[in-house]
Structure 1
Amino acid sequence: MIKRRARDNQLQKNKQLLLKLTVSFHQPLHHVKEGWIVQPLDHFNQQNSNTFPQFPNLVYGAVASSAPVKAKLDFSEYNNFPNLVYGAVASSAPVKAKLDFSEYNNVVGLSLLNEAVGGSEKCLSKVREAFAAVKEALMSGNINQVASDFGCCQIPKDPYDQIELMQSLADIFMGAVQYNEEGVLMSINELCGIMTNSSQEYQDEMEAYNRLVKLSQIYRFTSKEPCLDISYEKSMKDLMDTSVHAGRRGERQWTYQTCTEFGFYQTCEDATCPFSGMLTLQDQTKLCTTLFGISQHSLPARIAFTNTYFGGDNPHTHSILYVNGGIDPWKTLSVVQDGTEEGEEAQTIFIKDTAHCADMSSRRVTDRSSLTKARQEIEKHVANWLKTAAQEKLEKGTS
């Protein structure tokens, strides 16, 4: 729920930025219309002619040259490139598929340690302590008390409901780190403030546990959720809903991609994870079989194919600018250093102490200097691409 809200918030900001970009091309806002492109349902099966309508994200995601974009946004002929895409800014782009993405929560833990963004050793320690206390309470049979403390909609008697609870609590921290200072419900600084605040209210052996309870209450209040839904059965029912108006359509599609192409399972079995070892790879990949009939044993081969086909973290690309933030968990699957093994050009920008896609958000007076500088570098790269592309177009026209 928390991750979904964070993604929705980011999508809304992306749409707002797209409108601003439109204005920068001297196009009145009332001319901006929502359009769709016909997309093949299966890019890897030429025998499958089925298609679906997709909202294009061309201008925002890349320097594009398709006819619909040119017509709608009135690009000049010099900016109408001969190929579909001339250059792209890959912001926080994980280009390597990985089944067990334990590094995600490792970076979350390191970010909770980072004093530059409000973290501390005490914060990480209290988080570990709190999750250990929740697990201990569940294992010792205090299930009703845990359900009451965290305002659960159901009593987590089923082990899978207990895992749902642990995942929901972990999502608070994972979402805060991934979208820190980008308008999410709480930043790392605020979150760690609650977990480490010195007060007489929680001075006992259950201090960390009670602080996590308080944090959960704040999230539910801010989200206007009457209770914390931890029903595994309900989650499965929602994800199996394939109707047009299903409430979790995007989540089902994303889950299918993780099963067939990406992996990206953010597990917690590694000792570096600050949460609960109950978040296992086995339980997460079980969804593939339950929802789509895809064998868990087939996932490694599927992910290996993705990396072989697209190049993994050593992609054979040109005119791609890879931008990553220092506390973004996804950076470990992206390109963060210039150059590749074959010597092909790979340009990168690393933004210290910033989160996922921070460079794509609107400018604010509170932006870090590293982020301001990165945006300037990105603008220079895009300006150079436009200049070079226009020159190439002119030369081809006169040859």
Structure 2
Amino acid sequence: MLLSPPLAVLLLGLQSALCLGLGGQNLWLLKDKVLRSQEQRAQRYLLESWKAFPARSKGGWTEPREGFFPQPLDHFNRRNNATYKQRFWVNTELWEREQGPVFLYIGGEGALTPYSVLAGEHVDLARKYRALLVSLEHRYYGASINPDGLTDQKIQFLSSQQALADLATFHAFISQQYNLTRSNTWICFGGSYPGSLSAWFRLKFPHLVYAAVASSAPVRAQLDFTAYNKVVSQSLSNPIVGGSLKCRAAVAHVFSRLDQILKGGNTSGLEADFGSCRKLNGSDDYGEFVSNLADIIMGTVQYNQETPDNSIANLCQVMTNHSLGSAYQRLVLLNKNYMASMELKCVDNSHQNVLEKLRSTEVKPYGVGERQWYYQTCAEFGYCNIDPWHALSVLKNQSSSEVAVVINGTAHCANMNPPEDRDPPSLRQARQKIDDQIGIWLASAHQYPW
């Protein structure tokens, strides 16, 4: 008698602010910088540790296979025969073919790169458990989109439901390509929105994937979720990450001051002090201005220590240093530091420019897809406040196989990055818990074939 496999979804919630939402232009710029920094970190990690790979090439490691395969544009309408080419990567160098598992890395709201199967927590685990590594780029992001995909008519086929159906089709494609059997247990990995997809894929297709690791996954979507500021506030006052009550109070005070100035309508001082590219024109520009400044705070909390110049500790050192002047003057300095780090001559606070950017249907096969993600969040999830995702995740164990790991004092999806010497003990312990749980899942899969 075959026993049903346990519902194996590992849900990780991080106590620093976790956010992948919309935000102002500053947050998008910061997110792109973090992605570049993570790729550089992966490169360094590979250069330092390539000797651990069993198969070597002249460059230190074998380049993974990049491929494209045709996916139905609409999985739910048989009358629509249109397709698009979806990009994927495969790394077979660590795989024990007969019984080695398959580790699927799920892409999200941006382009994937070969490093999706070369570096990261899931790759380290694949080395230990001799897994086949595969990654799938999300439809409509990166190179996985038709030239007309961003038009108002065609973008309707961008949804998490279509993406989950893509994963099921990809499962069949890879299984056929590599002659996989039931002995090759599938475990999927994802962080943030892809973390939700990871959990949902396990729930919707339990016959295809045995277990899922869902890092910082907002699986409980909520319309007009407003708990963001509470989590940011808690992070700014958390001494574990360099915050303090004084820091939180200074930030709250200065944004209250900004509100008063904007209500008065005399914005020339703000435009000069905070490097606005042009005069603020009405309430829409006011909203962009405040959002861009708030992005500096929110982005620092979200990506704490993800780049060398970006941490809550550094932010709070500035905001609590009275020798720098008033809280307003400290925020001015914080903004100048941000502009310097991003190499910005001025900050674009034009709401009209934002709209024009979001209306553009030009397909760019790199970076984060702003138009796509804006459409997807508004059409499906209701993430209108840049929410810290752990508040929408699962933070307590649901069963012996549904394990929640809460990591204090770190950042968004930090457990998924390659390990570093500066990683806090809580992060190292969390990775070990994930490792242990995967070992339990794989042992269970072999003991009770699914």
TM-score, length basis structure 2: 0.64
Out of 157, 161, 178, the residue aligned to residue 285 of structure 2 is 161
Matches within 5 A, 1:281-360: 329-339=388-398, 346-360=402-416
Out of 356, 366, 369, the residue aligned to residue 422 of structure 2 is 366
Matches within 5 A, 1:1-399: 1-12=25-36, 13=38, 26-28=54-56, 29-43=61-75, 45-56=77-88, 59-61=104-106, 66=171, 78-79=183-184, 81=186, 83-183=207-307, 185-199=309-323, 201-202=324-325, 207-245=326-364, 250-266=369-385, 329-339=388-398, 346-392=402-448
**Matched residue of 1:34: which SS?**
strand
Give me the identity figure in percent.
39
Per the alignment, do residues 363 and 246 of structure 1 end up closer, same or farther by CA in structure 2, a change over 3 Å counting? closer
Per the alignment, do residues 373 and 76 of structure 1 end up closer, same or farther by CA in structure 2, a change over 3 Å counting? farther
Per the alignment, do residues 43 and 143 of structure 1 end up closer, same or farther by CA in structure 2, a change over 3 Å counting? farther
Deviations 1:192-244 (A, max 9, x none): 11111131x41xxxx11111111111011110011001111111111100022
- Counterparts of 2:267 and 2:219 in 1: how far apart (Å)? 41
Higher relative contact order (CA 8 A, sep 6+): 2
Per the alignment, do residues 79 and 15 of structure 1 end up closer, same or farther by CA in structure 2, a change over 3 Å counting? farther
- Counterparts of 2:307 and 2:345 in 1: how far apart (Å)? 22
Cα contact 2:378–2:384 (8 A) shared by 1: no
- Counterparts of 1:108 and 1:257 in 2: how far apart (Å)? 24
- Counterparts of 1:184 and 1:78 in 2: how far apart (Å)? 43
Task: Structure 1 unaligned segments of length 5 or more: list them.
Answer: 268-327
- Counterparts of 1:54 and 1:24 in 2: how far apart (Å)? 31
Cα contact 2:185–2:442 (8 A) shared by 1: no
What amino acid is the match of 1:250? Answer: G
**Matched residue of 1:265: which SS?**
coil
Per the alignment, do residues 43 and 124 of structure 1 end up closer, same or farther by CA in structure 2, a change over 3 Å counting? farther
The alignment's C-alpha RMSD in Å is 3.5
What amino acid is the match of 2:283? Answer: P
Task: Structure 2 unaligned segments of length 5 or more: list them.
Answer: 1-24, 90-102, 107-121, 123-130, 135-170, 187-205
- Counterparts of 1:359 and 1:376 in 2: how far apart (Å)? 10
Compute the displacement of 1:100 (Å).
Answer: 1.1
- Counterparts of 1:43 and 1:70 in 2: how far apart (Å)? 19
Per the alignment, do residues 375 and 71 of structure 1 end up closer, same or farther by CA in structure 2, a change over 3 Å counting? farther
Cα contact 1:99–1:262 (8 A) shared by 2: yes
**Matched residue of 2:336: which SS?**
helix
Cα contact 1:119–1:188 (8 A) shared by 2: yes
- Counterparts of 1:234 and 1:219 in 2: how far apart (Å)? 21
Q: How many aligned residue pairs are there?
A: 326
- Counterparts of 1:75 and 1:387 in 2: how far apart (Å)? 18
Cα contact 2:358–2:370 (8 A) shared by 1: yes
- Counterparts of 1:235 and 1:53 in 2: how far apart (Å)? 29
What amino acid is the match of 2:328? Answer: Y
Residue 281 of structure 1 corresponds to which residue in structure 2? none
TM-score, length basis structure 1: 0.71
**Matched residue of 1:116: which SS?**
helix
Deviations 1:251-306 (A, max 9, x none): 11111111211111117xxxxxxxxxxxxxxxxxxxxxxxxxxxxxxxxxxxxxxx
- Counterparts of 1:127 and 1:368 in 2: how far apart (Å)? 26
What amino acid is the match of 2:104? Answer: V
**Matched residue of 1:85: which SS?**
coil
What amino acid is the match of 1:229? Answer: D
- Counterparts of 1:140 and 1:43 in 2: how far apart (Å)? 53
Cα contact 1:239–1:249 (8 A) shared by 2: no
Deviations 1:159-210 (A, max 9, x none): 11110010000111111111212226410000111111131x41xxxx1111
- Counterparts of 1:38 and 1:191 in 2: how far apart (Å)? 47
- Counterparts of 1:247 and 1:90 in 2: how far apart (Å)? 24
